[in-house]
Amino acid sequence: MGDFGLAKRPSDPALTEQGKPLGPFHHLPSEVFVSDEEPDWERVDVHCLANTLWCIAAEKLHPPRGQIRAADEDSLDLLLPGEPNVGQLAALIQAATSRSPSARPTLSEFGHQLDDWLAARASTGDFAVEFESAEARKFAVLRWLVDHVRREPVFDRMGYDIPDDVDAPSDIPGLTEGEVCEALLELIEDGAIYGEPVHGMGRREPLQFNRLYPTLYGLQEIEDLASLTAQAMPLLRAQFSCATGSRCQGRRSR
Amino acid sequence: MRDWVSLPRSKEPVEVASDLTLSPAEMFFQMWLLEAQGLLSFRVMHEGGMQTSFADVRTTGDGKRKLYLAAQDAPGQV
């Protein structure tokens, strides 16, 4: 990565104009636009560097707006679940894109933490790296399951077949069917999802999983439970109104 | 008092109340979420190929308390 400057592209429409904020709009942190005081440009550069790194890793033209939190859907932890030690990189990007400039690392600290990540990534045989990769895969499978059951009318009867070719790519980006199988088994064991593995004769790995659904504990791992409950309050209110005889829309019988 | 809810296994939205429409999958998810927190209770009555029915769907005491507290914050909701 490097800063190639602006001088070679004087006709670039994205160049900073007189009276406009300095730098590329999509990469700038909010203090450049809203602060009356001169921003700390080193912390601005850290923010830009972090979301540029995100763009390169995620192969996107522009970064997400604001802080890229490690547990959010656009986190590299979720986008690249097969990448060794990606949680460490996602945490670094989260810190470096903090809304508060003082919460961001300095450029020097950012460099050291990137070096640490690269060193950890290089030692792929290390237990910690393997563990973190497995955690990232479980995280990706859990989020996929929650999204799936909220979109598809499977209710709590969702099944998942494991094909013979466990190296085949699965529906979950970046994961093989074998990795999904392993993640589902561990999520059940952790109590993050319900599910019934079905084993075939003479086969150690399950042939399929039945009755998959997240548990409340699992849901809390990836979603804000208070926010989800607030979303469900209109249903509770409608049910209460229906039971008391008002505003019921033809789904009540005696 | 009994109350029944039938959810079709389709993606067509269902009208829950005059001002609330949800897909069956999302409605089940929300019912499950409320039930898991003790705010709503129900019994699964029938699981057929095309739909699942729930009986005795009712707001629990904790659910009523939560609605009451929510109404204090936003009067006129209940």
- Band (pLDDT 50/70/90 cuts) for residue A251 is very low
Question: Does B33 fall in a domain?
Answer: yes
Each residue's pLDDT, cut to its tens digit, for chain B (78 residues) gives 347 888 999 999 988 877 889 999 999 999 999 999 999 999 988 777 788 888 889 999 999 999 888 888 766 554
Residues of B in contact with A252 (CB under 8 A): 3-4
Under a CB-based contact definition with an 8 Å cutoff, are residues A251 and B5 in contact? yes
Question: How close are the terminal C-alpha atoms of chain A, in Å?
Answer: 69
The answer to whether the CB atoms of B2 and A213 lie below 8 A apart is: no
In eight-state DSSP terms, residue A5 is -
Check residue A129 and give its pLDDT: 67
Give me the domain span that covers residue A203. 128-223
The answer to whether residues A99 and A152 belong to one domain is no
The answer to whether residues A156 and A109 belong to one domain is no
The average pLDDT across A159-169 equals: 92
A213: left (phi over 0), alpha (psi -120 to 50) or beta: beta
Question: Does A99 fall in a domain?
Answer: yes
Instruction: Using the Cα atoms of residue A149, residue A151, residue A157 and residue A158 in order, give the sign of their dihedral.
Output: negative
In eight-state DSSP terms, residue A100 is S
The answer to whether the CB atoms of A239 and B57 lie below 8 A apart is: yes
The answer to whether residues A103 and A173 belong to one domain is no
Under a CB-based contact definition with an 8 Å cutoff, are residues A212 and A158 in contact? yes
ipTM for the predicted complex: 0.87
Scanning the structure block, which residue is given the tokens 């800063």? A3
Question: Does B53 fall in a domain?
Answer: yes
Q: Beta strand pairing status for A158-161 and B14-17? A: unpaired
Q: Which of A156, A239, A253 comes nearest B59 by C-beta?
A: A239
Residues of B in contact with A242 (CB under 8 A): 3, 17
Bridge partners (DSSP) of residue A210 are: A196
Question: Does B61 fall in a domain?
Answer: yes
pLDDT in tens, A197-239: 998 877 778 999 999 999 999 999 989 999 999 999 999 988 8
Q: For A144-151, which contacts have Cβ atoms below 8 Å and span 24 or more sequence positions? A: A144/A171, A144/A172, A145/A193, A145/A212, A145/A213, A145/A214, A146/A214, A146/A218, A146/A219, A146/A222, A146/A223, A149/A212, A149/A213, A149/A214, A149/B25, A149/B28, A149/B29, A150/B25, A150/B26, A150/B29, A151/B23, A151/B25
How many angstroms away from the CA of B76 is the closest CA of chain A? 11
Question: Does B78 fall in a domain?
Answer: no
**Interface with chain B: mutation pick from A146, A236, A253, highest number of B CBs within 10 Å:** A236
The answer to whether residues A63 and A120 belong to one domain is yes
pLDDT in tens, A19-63: 666 667 788 888 888 877 888 989 999 999 999 999 999 999 899
Q: Which of A219, A233, A249 comes nearest B16 by C-beta?
A: A249
Directed axis angle between helix A127-151 and helix A107-122, to 10°? 100
The answer to whether the CB atoms of B34 and A219 lie below 8 A apart is: no
- Band (pLDDT 50/70/90 cuts) for residue A150 is very high
Question: Does A118 fall in a domain?
Answer: yes
Q: How far apart are CA B43 and CA B55, in angstroms?
A: 5
The answer to whether residues A202 and A141 belong to one domain is yes
Question: Does A48 fall in a domain?
Answer: yes
Q: Is the pLDDT of residue A103 over 50?
A: yes
Question: Does B57 fall in a domain?
Answer: yes
Element (H, E) at A212: strand A206-214
The answer to whether residues A176 and A112 belong to one domain is no
Residues of A in contact with B26 (CB under 8 A): 150
Task: Answer with the residue of higher pLDDT: A173 or A220.
Answer: A220
**Interface with chain B: mutation pick from A219, A244, A251, A252, highest number of B CBs within 10 Å:** A251
Give me the domain span that covers residue B17. 5-73
Taking the CA atoms of residue B18, residue B22, residue B23 and residue B24 in that order, the dihedral angle to the nearest 10 degrees is: -80
Number of domains forming the structure of chain A: 2
The answer to whether residues A165 and A86 belong to one domain is no
Phi, psi of A169 (to 5 degrees): -65, 145
The answer to whether residues A75 and A102 belong to one domain is yes
Number of domains forming the structure of chain B: 1
Q: Is the pLDDT of residue A4 over 60?
A: no
CATH of the domain at A138: 1.10.10
The answer to whether residues A145 and A213 belong to one domain is yes
The answer to whether the CB atoms of B66 and A248 lie below 8 A apart is: no
The answer to whether the CB atoms of A243 and B31 lie below 8 A apart is: no
The answer to whether residues A100 and A53 belong to one domain is yes
Single pTM value for the model: 0.64
Question: Does A57 fall in a domain?
Answer: yes
How many angstroms away from the CA of A237 is the closest CA of chain B? 6
Q: Is the pLDDT of residue A10 over 70?
A: no
Cβ-in-10-Å burial (0-12, 13-18, 19+) of A252 comes to middle
Tell me the average pLDDT of chain A: 85
